[in-house]
Structure 1
């Protein structure tokens, strides 16, 4: 079987662990170097390390609306949401309850504060949460804390575990869970069980991909990036890499390279090989092997999908976008895509359709299960 065929095969196999209900949000800023001021304002500005395009300050999903990407996001109203709420809590809209249609969808939203929107409410993690990601079974969250370190926690923010501390001067961002549970036959082969966290490390502008076992006191190590064994292949770039998202039963991953503007697929079936697949940024990989990513078209960021892995067709699913659509993520079944717009979070069918606004909170969306 060719290397590319292995990639397509591994990406197409459904994830072995069923995910539970709920969801989680990756951080809107994805910038572990941001300090308490970002949390207190309930907003954050995308950093260069994330590959997040900055939306126009007055942009909105329709010509008649306008909102700022740096305006304080609104969280759902609750009995404790008032003018006396903590300064780092997203405030409810004064005149009406903030839009929050996340209940029962598995979608969650984090915005760089200690509060995460999920299942129609706001969950207090008790600490700054950046780039929130979930284990495939939905039972554990991973995030970058206010000190820039990698932590895990239960869905309610309890039972926090410090996995690893970022070295001084190095910024970690965008963790993703990589999990593989071999079958009885696979356990006798070269395929070993995996329970890792992959992330980007920004060492004074040099962006590299790292991995670490998802356990306390583990030691991160650079990810090996081998090429497919095709003819005339070039070495894969070791720096400029960011925005990892793992998916599929074997823990394959998609990532982007800031320097060449390409989206890459990394095969985890056997040899950890990979290659560029398309122009774009901020990719997400579904458990069925499909890709969604961002590409600039006519001055705005559109969402593109690529089905069938490495050689599959690609399509602009937001051809009428008049503002920047960024940070897309697949639902567990691959049927829905959630994404960020300047005035909140939207969802739409993965096959294309009309975007639907589901939250006023401006942040990074993610599905827990």
Structure 2
């Protein structure tokens, strides 16, 4: 089961008000060398809490981070950000006030922009300090949008992807829900028409001989790697897939699970799967011939959901009913709680 909707708006706002009294005010939403500061009034002065607990420390106990203090778990060093479904986003040890509701925040590949679903349900972009807000796409009546991700492809050292191909993969992919039907859609990151993203398999331009992935019921897109790969979940089948049309369209069935996330190098995937009444975190290689899985939370006594990779690929953050935990991606230590904020964890590149 998922804990994504366990915290209502009023409860989240009340908790944010309490927690904001002990957040850092020294660092703004930009990197330390940028000189930028957080939006006015977003953090209380006088706090020295850092919330930078080392990954894989003490086992998860449901208690706040070291010292018994409520901290937000983010810092300039660890790149962790938490969107709470309110107007405040935790990053760099402080709260940034975006001035309106931010849901399902995701970062651009260069970390200079965020994309999110705004309070009107439209797809929005903004600067990390909440300024420069712009409506990228307006949702149609009767349609709900959620969980955007920034698809991209990088140029190789010898040119790699030609410039127009690089731009081709500069897209925002997200979930559209209408009349109970889920599908993946995309819009160019610079703006344009919203189009369906239809995963399929092809072989020499003919896809009739290969098993085809489902076209509806797809959600929770997550981009990773340097070749425009997209992980997603199919809700009816409770199955995780990776879609890649970089050279030739292909969709890889990863197995049972939900809420997948691709590692920064695209070589690993983390996803959620229910085991013995709790949601566990599993990882495996994205290579077709490597199917061994690792349970990062084998002794889970709570639900771990909505996982995200750190920029170096060494740590996975996940949401729990008590806040945010981190765990070493190699499974070498137990999860450790780093934040008591309820929200979606995501790392800034």
Whole-angstrom distance in 1 between the partners of 2:86 and 2:71: 18
| Corresponding residue number in structure 2 for 1:227 | 201
The 5 A counterparts of 1:352-367 are 352=331, 353-367=333-347
Structure 1 unpaired stretches of 5+: 1-27, 32-36, 44-70, 82-88
Distance 1:190 1:140, change over 3 A: closer
Distance 1:117 1:190, change over 3 A: closer
Report the TM-score when normalising by structure 2: 0.79
Whole-angstrom distance in 1 between the partners of 2:161 and 2:269: 29
The CA RMSD over aligned residues, in Å, is 2.9
> Which stretch shifts more, 280-289 or 145-154?
280-289
Report deviation, 1:257: 0.3
Aligned partner (choices 108, 113, 124) of residue 135 of structure 1: 108
Distance 1:188 1:246, change over 3 A: closer
The 5 A counterparts of 1:41-190 are 41-42=11-12, 72=15, 75-77=19-21, 98-103=70-75, 104-183=77-156, 185-188=159-162
Report the TM-score when normalising by structure 1: 0.74
Structure 2 unpaired stretches of 5+: 26-41, 48-63
Whole-angstrom distance in 2 between the partners of 1:141 and 1:106: 14
Question: Is the 1:109–1:365 contact (alpha carbons within 8 Å) kept by the matching residues of 2?
Answer: yes
Report deviation, 1:226: 1.4
Aligned partner (choices 260, 271, 277) of residue 293 of structure 1: 271
| Corresponding residue number in structure 2 for 1:19 | none
Report deviation, 1:232: 6.0
- The aligned length equals 300
Aligned partner (choices 329, 332, 336) of residue 315 of structure 2: 336
SS in 2 for 1:42: helix
Question: Is the 1:101–1:120 contact (alpha carbons within 8 Å) kept by the matching residues of 2?
Answer: yes
| Corresponding residue number in structure 2 for 1:322 | 301
| Corresponding residue number in structure 2 for 1:273 | 250
Q: Looking at both structures, which has the greater relative contact order when contacts are Cα pairs under 8 Å and sequence separation is at least 6?
A: 1
SS in 2 for 1:77: helix
